[in-house]
Amino acid sequence: MAAAAALGEAARGTTAPNPNVGCVIVSPGGDLVGKGATGPGGRPHAEAVALAQASSATRGATLYTTLEPCAHPSQRGPTCSVIIPAAGISRVVVALIDPDQRTAGQGISMLRAEGIDVDVGAGAEVAKRSMAGYLTRLSLGRPRVTLKLALSIDGKIALPSGESKWITGEDARAHVHLERAHSDMILVGRGTYNADRPSLDVRLPGLEDRSPRRALLTRGDAVDGWEILSSPQDVYRLHDVNDLLVEGGSGVATAFLAADLVDRILIYRAPIFIGEGKSSVGYIGLDAIADAHGRWRVADGTHLGIDRLEVYERVRES
């Protein structure tokens, strides 16, 4: 399942509005005979790719998939819960039930009705993390919003002059490009657009074609090549975006945090003090320290060269 999850994660940012699923097929003898991930825009499905690769070696094999095989017919491709039994697969291991109401357990029922042994739950945590964008869209009706900030120890994003290049080092900036490659859309504020005219493209070898759609948060004029959000609430209109990366600046970060529309935060923390300078976040509606607590938890942390990445996740009652 770890191999299937890695395949699915590699496709994150390319499959919206479909989930980024990964799939591997293992022969009765223990050989990996097929592997696949969801194709660009959602088709072909990971299972169909893996079955095609395995060809005749599917008989009696075990299929591992990070999401329940689809149960609904589509003009864009075959129904996975039909072609898996047809290929002679004898066991299917599923990480997560698909919350899409067109499947939602019916895929598993169809497989079992064909005599296939189905296990559910292995690798569920990794699969949830990798498909968080898709799952957030289905449960909250909007993309998973990730806020990225490059900060000094004292939380500043620039000198009073606006100079911000470079707070973080090359390793951290490369990690940002990787995160871009795994996003469906990147959003910046009008101020950042005017100051930097950022291309927001992915500058990593082999991933140059993974540059996501670009959006501006502005009440002002449209800009060629950029989509427009006039307020953070407009994320509810983005039905074809699983992962939205909000890159700043301070006005955008403040607007999204004040609207409680951030699910994950990536802090690229440089080991420097800036002192007097631009704060990363302005007034977010907080009037007592106690009210600030219980909203965020440290989800991960790692060193990136001399910098450190802090990952926070919004704590939500589920």
Measured from the CB of residue 112, what is the shortest distance to a second copy in angstroms? 43
152 or 218: whose CB is closer to a second copy? 152
Question: Is 276 labeled as catalytic in the residue annotation?
Answer: no
For residues 91-116, b (16+ Cβ closer than 10 Å) or e, as one string? bbbbbbbbbbeebeebbbebbeeeeb
- Whether residue 17 has a cis bond before it, omega within 30° of 0: yes
* Options 49, 54, 108, 167; binder of a second copy; rule CB under 8 A: 167
* Options 254, 264, 304, 309; binder of a second copy; rule CB under 8 A: 254
CA triple 65-53-110, angle to 5 deg: 40
Is there binding between residue 257 and a second copy (CB under 8 A)? yes
Is there binding between residue 271 and a second copy (CB under 8 A)? yes
Is there binding between residue 92 and a second copy (CB under 8 A)? no
Is there binding between residue 220 and a second copy (CB under 8 A)? no
* Options 166, 194, 199, 300; binder of a second copy; rule CB under 8 A: 166
- Dihedral through CA 306, CA 310, CA 311, CA 313, nearest 10? -170
89 or 274: whose CB is closer to a second copy? 274
CA–CA separation, 156 vs 158, rounded Å?
Answer: 6
How distant, in Å, are the alpha carbons of 25, 197, 230, 308 from that of 39? 17, 31, 31, 33
Is there binding between residue 317 and a second copy (CB under 8 A)? no
- Dihedral through CA 76, CA 99, CA 297, CA 123, nearest 10? -80
Is there binding between residue 259 and a second copy (CB under 8 A)? no
Sole window of 69-77, 146-154, 170-178, 210-218 interacting with a second copy (rule: CB under 8 A): 146-154
How distant, in Å, are the alpha carbons of 5, 81, 87, 165 from that of 59? 23, 16, 6, 57
- Whether residue 166 has a cis bond before it, omega within 30° of 0: yes
Is there binding between residue 197 and a second copy (CB under 8 A)? no
Residues in contact with a second copy, shown as a per-residue x/- string from 294 to 313 under the rule CB under 8 A: -xxxx--x-x--x-x-x-x-
Interface residues with a second copy (CB under 8 A)? 151-156, 159, 163-167, 254, 257-258, 265, 267, 270-277, 279-289, 292-293, 295-298, 301, 303, 306, 308, 310, 312
Q: Which positions are annotated as active-site residues?
A: 47
